[in-house]
Structure 1
């Protein structure tokens, strides 16, 4: 006998919303990669807010060392321009202050040593030593804004809860799809109606639920 699993319905997770026109937003579901991407009603979504990073020397540097051309973007990275400025020139070395796009110093990078806060990169020494004020920029591109099931291992912003999908959506391989999600409150969702990635831990779920709460979406236990 063939067994068919019934899909979730909106009412399985959504117990209250103040106004659909305010609480719901159209979303673009990221295209499938190698296969269709199937998202179901009640699935907690992440949103791609960050793209790739590009490192470059600022014109006019005294030193001719280089920086990693394509730094690895970490989960804590922010879209925008990071400033990497030499504050302590040394023979065949040097130390650089690293500021995030908000102007906050996140660490000190040393020439020849991998730096791994927000971004992973290395400044390489050149034939001419760096001078104070020599600088690099690392630009983290804005993300596509597309959504997918929350992925706690992602570093593109998709590890943070953005909302909850209202209705089933299938994005074919290589083709984006349109959907609707609850992304604002006041709204109340049942924890029993939410769908999480396989292997999600309770602390990960708790963190995502706290992020939904910041958007006004309260997840009620056992509702």
Structure 2
């Protein structure tokens, strides 16, 4: 994971030191951004990604939420300014922290934030020479309500209109022919998938 995240950061002039990546053992297909540059990735997402480009797209999307300050904007709207101020001053109880984490991981950003994060993720991928097409395919594939994975699709349920988003991700990528390359070797990707598959 560090190789993918570092590659995206380096290619896009994002401080890797300011981004704290957490991989959690959980079968849900999910990733989300938290305040102060925390990025949470569930092993279920890694296990169910068909390739590293799909995973890089989701990581880029969540990085975009952090870089575009969507996390704090959402918190201000969802939990209120007073709780936000209490969090920044350190004068906050565990219940507020618990509610904050629940809010961020289980509810969607505004549609405009989602589109902005999608487009920014595609830009991140292009600058890193990673093909964004699989990210669009990922959105389309996992948004299918008939999917046997649907009960695990937390990321999709908190990111609505995924098929529509897949279309504009693919459209935005068109005409941007770049010499795409893999960040991880095939052996490393296989080892990662096997490592989270149990």
Global fold match (TM > 0.5): no
What is the TM-score with the length of structure 1 in the denominator? 0.25
In terms of fraction of residues, the more strand-rich structure is 1
More helix, by proportion: 2
Q: Greater Rg, structure 1 or structure 2?
A: 1
- Larger relative CO (CA 8 A, sep 6+): 1 or 2? 1
Q: TM-score, normalised by structure 2?
A: 0.27
